[in-house]
Amino acid sequence: MKVSTDACLLGAVADATGTTRLLDIGTGTGLLALMLAQRFAGLTVEALEIDPAAAAQALANVRQSPWSGRIRVHSQSLAAYAATGQELVGHIVCNPPFFRAALPAPDAARRRARHADATSLTFEELAQFAADFLLPHGALTVLLPPPEMLAFERVAQTVGLHPQRRLLVHHRPAGRITRHIVRFERTKAHEVEIGELSIRTADDGEYSAAFRALLAGFYLTLP
């Protein structure tokens, strides 16, 4: 779980332009926090992780990076973090647990990261936290599969957060959409900006030119 395509895409797509303080909810081993600190000079990243082992790995990774002075790792739940009276942030990023109907993963940490259950972050908790802790013109960027994103959008709109941009992700061109990356803001868009990305090509299955361009700054080599 150290590096996933989902996390790489979210870290490369989330737009923190003009933001000075960002919160990464469920940072895992710190990949998203590191990518965003790399992309946006001057950005301070608060990286939140409930699993102690993952948080420890995130802290180790941050300390070995060139951006250690701009990333703070918090080993606590979202509720505990909120209770400390944190400042408002300009942007929140999250890839929340989403396998609601699938069989749970056998490993507890992996299950907590990928499956929604009674101990994991709920869509309602995430949306309400964002509504409470985002600056007036702040944004929340979330990655989810299509059915789960539809469910999350319904919840987000009840707390006044509305889609502004949507990236539709396909594994291959003309294939089914496997992920949505959506930016939410408080203002309703007259028309939601929609883009599409295919991870691999249709013919030989190699990474697409668009995917390579998006991730080129983060990989030493792309196979």
Q: Report the candidate in 221, 25, 218 with the shortest Cα–Cα distance to residue 140.
A: 25
Closest-CA residue to 92 (of 198, 2, 194, 182) = 182
The CATH code that applies to domain 5-215 is: 3.40.50.150
Q: What is the mean pLDDT of residues 166-172?
A: 96
CA 195 centroid distance within chain: 17
**Other C-beta atoms lying within 10 Å of the C-beta of residue 174:** 7
Q: Among 50-59, 127-136, 139-148, 199-208, which stretch is predicted with the lowest mean pLDDT?
A: 199-208
Region 7-34: mean pLDDT is 96
pLDDT digits (tens, 9 = 90+) for 106-132: 454 444 444 343 347 899 999 999 999
Residue pair 81/48 in contact by the 8 Å Cβ criterion: yes
Domain boundaries, the chain: 5-215
The model's confidence at residue 103, banded by pLDDT at 50, 70 and 90, is very low
